[in-house]
């Protein structure tokens, strides 16, 4: 085998053989295939695609590059959720303890933000003392004692994907559906969960801008999970508008705690409950009532134990940015559009996100929203507040926002896009 022949096969719209796929993933992981060669292959895949057989074999090869976890010793059924990423997407934070409070075990391996999309680990690290990196033994112990764990994936889990993901990010191949699907599913299958619910975002703030692309990605991942014996279902959810009223790290943690305390924005509550019902159903816990567990405080109890188990203080004050800048409504009327991508870029530029994986983030930075589409606003009323520790970032962040919203005359009819748009099983 050699890298050039593999690249040429896909460049010329051919089907990669199982042997070619196994070899190139293994050789790249070992350093025998150079980054520039894998970059060329990734671009060929982006342009020419892969069929279901190729994607399944590529995913299997990624899994085979590392270890596989086993939760067979747990007394609870395991179920997990993965989101393809968005703006204000803090759903994992209330969701994991909520599903655990209903009787399932939730081994939630999460990632960091990159660009305009936020990362679950960055959000949780704004809690004083909380640790993202724990050993497999610690992970099992936290799962056994609390029912839920949110942590970083270990280096031994699908190392080929870790290497390829970083390469895709700097070579313009992030959007390749076969590579997105195999990246997500290789980690989730290697994780060893019994059931998986996929939250596939669609809209301006998502990687998938159209419902057709989101549907293709969701169908591909559901097929990969099903073929590997993992009960898998996907929800296509709206990401044209930010989720909730915050985009940032500590800001989103604070909002998540509000949801667990029985409050919080309706769209966050609705999506949390919709995903919880899917996760519990996939885990065989059809009679569990997540709405009751949210209302009676049991989900909050699990949250407190889960945070404490990883060194965090659930009672600690969350960081607050030193500087704020308020953007006011230029006119009165109905807010009819608030673009998720623009808000995400602004939060990123304020310090909530990173351009490279090595970059630090500010815990208190981000955007706080005071109105959502469908709300009536008055001229001069605050629309959003920008938060940062470094006020020189305001000018750069503000450049992302002039065209980010529309205000129509009072009385203009408005129909909200449903949070859940489709279900694929």
pLDDT tens per residue, range 222-232: 999 999 999 99
In the residue annotation, 183 being an active-site residue is answered as: yes
Across-strand partners of 108? Answer: 150
Check 57, 112, 123, 168 and give the catalytic one.
168
In the residue annotation, 168 being an active-site residue is answered as: yes
In the residue annotation, 82 being an active-site residue is answered as: yes
272 confidence band (pLDDT: 50, 70, 90): very high
% residues pLDDT > 70 (the chain): 100
CA distance 77 to 86: 28
Q: Which residue blocks in 67-129 are alpha helix, DSSP H?
A: 92-101, 120-124
Domains of the chain by range and CATH?
3-49 (1.20.970.10), 80-309 (3.40.1030.10), 323-408 (3.90.1170.30)
Angle at 264 between CA 260 and CA 270, to 5 degrees: 85
Check 112, 187, 201, 393 and give the catalytic one.
187
Check 39, 65, 182, 183 and give the catalytic one.
183
Contacts of 27 (CB under 8 A, 6+ apart): 1, 3, 33
294 confidence band (pLDDT: 50, 70, 90): very high
Token reading at 421: 């748009």
Q: Are 320 and 250 in contact (CB under 8 A)?
A: yes
CA distances from 46 to 27, 117, 168, 222 (A): 20, 21, 10, 20
243 confidence band (pLDDT: 50, 70, 90): very high
Model confidence at 169: pLDDT above 80 = no
Computed over every residue of the chain, the mean pLDDT equals 95
In the residue annotation, 161 being an active-site residue is answered as: yes
Residue range 173-209, pLDDT digits in tens: 988 999 999 999 999 999 999 999 999 999 999 989 9
Contacts of 75 (CB under 8 A, 6+ apart): none
Model confidence at 162: pLDDT above 90 = no
CA distance 134 to 132: 6
pLDDT value of residue 47: 97
Residue range 93-143, pLDDT digits in tens: 999 999 999 999 999 999 888 778 889 999 999 999 999 999 989 999 999
- Can you tell me the mean pLDDT for 157-161? 91
Residue 398: phi and psi, rounded to 5, are -65, -25
Strands (E), 246-400: 246-248, 323-328, 333-338, 366-369, 376-377, 382-388
CA 398 vs. chain centroid, Å, equals: 25
pLDDT value of residue 175: 84
CA distance 116 to 341: 7
- Residue written as token pair 């060929």: 44
**185 vs 154, more confident:** 185
Which of 289, 352, 27, 80 has the alpha carbon at shortest distance from 195?
80
Residue 272, number of CB atoms within 10 A of its CB: 27
Q: Are 338 and 369 in contact (CB under 8 A)?
A: yes
Classify each residue of 338-374 as buried b or exposed e, where b means 16 or more C-beta atoms within 10 Å of its C-beta. Answer: bbbbbbbbbbbbbbbbbeeeeeebbbbbbbbbbbbbe
Check 80, 161, 199, 342 and give the catalytic one.
161
Check 82, 112, 201, 277 and give the catalytic one.
82
In the residue annotation, 325 being an active-site residue is answered as: no
- Can you tell me the mean pLDDT for 214-221? 96
CA distance 203 to 292: 31
Model confidence at 357: pLDDT above 80 = no
Is this model's pTM higher than 0.85 or not? yes
CA distance 401 to 424: 34
Give the β-pairing of 376-377 and 148-152: unpaired
Residue range 11-64, pLDDT digits in tens: 999 999 999 999 999 999 999 999 999 999 999 999 999 999 999 999 999 999
């Amino acid at each position: 085998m050699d890298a050039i022949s593999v690249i040429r096969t896909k460049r010329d719209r051919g089907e990669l053989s199982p042997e070619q796929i196994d070899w190139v993933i293994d050789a790249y992981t070992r350093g025998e295939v150079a980054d520039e060669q894998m970059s060329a292959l990734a671009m060929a895949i982006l342009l020419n695609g892969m069929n279901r057989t190729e994607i399944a074999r590529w995913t299997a090869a990624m899994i085979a590059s590392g270890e596989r976890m086993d939760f067979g010793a747990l007394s609870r059924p395991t179920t997990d959720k993965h989101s393809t990423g968005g703006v204000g997407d803090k759903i994992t934070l209330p969701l994991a303890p909520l599903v655990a409070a209903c009787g399932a075990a939730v081994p939630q391996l999460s990632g960091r933000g990159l660009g305009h999309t936020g990362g679950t680990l960055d959000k949780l690290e704004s809690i004083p003392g909380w640790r993202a990196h724990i050993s497999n033994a610690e992970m099992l112990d936290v799962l056994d004692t609390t029912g839920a764990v949110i942590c970083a994936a270990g280096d031994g889990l699908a190392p080929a994907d870790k290497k390829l993901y970083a390469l895709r990010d700097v070579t313009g191949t992030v959007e390749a559906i076969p590579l997105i699907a195999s990246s997500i599913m290789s980690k989730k299958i290697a994780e060893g969960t019994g059931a998986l619910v996929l939250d596939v975002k669609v809209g301006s703030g998502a990687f998938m801008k159209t419902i057709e692309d989101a549907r293709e990605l969701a169908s591909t991942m559901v097929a990969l999970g099903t073929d590997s014996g993992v009960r898998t279902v996907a929800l296509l959810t709206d990401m044209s508008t930010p989720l909730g009223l915050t985009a940032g790290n500590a800001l989103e943690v604070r909002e998540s705690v509000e949801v667990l305390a029985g409050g919080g924005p309706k769209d966050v509550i609705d999506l949390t409950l919709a995903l919880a019902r899917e996760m519990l159903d996939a885990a065989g816990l059809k009679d569990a009532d997540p709405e009751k567990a949210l209302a009676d405080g049991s989900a909050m109890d699990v949250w407190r134990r889960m945070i404490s188990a990883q060194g965090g203080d659930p009672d600690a004050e969350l960081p607050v940015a030193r500087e704020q800048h308020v953007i006011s409504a230029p006119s009165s009327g109905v807010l009819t559009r608030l673009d998720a991508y623009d808000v995400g870029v602004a939060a990123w530029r304020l310090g909530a996100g990173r351009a490279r994986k090595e970059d630090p983030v500010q815990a208190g930075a981000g955007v706080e929203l005071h109105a959502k589409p469908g709300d009536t606003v008055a001229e001069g009323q605050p629309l959003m507040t920008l938060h940062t520790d470094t006020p020189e970032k305001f000018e750069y962040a503000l450049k992302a926002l002039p065209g980010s919203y529309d205000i129509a005359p009072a009385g203009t009819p408005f129909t909200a896009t449903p949070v859940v748009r489709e279900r694929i099983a």
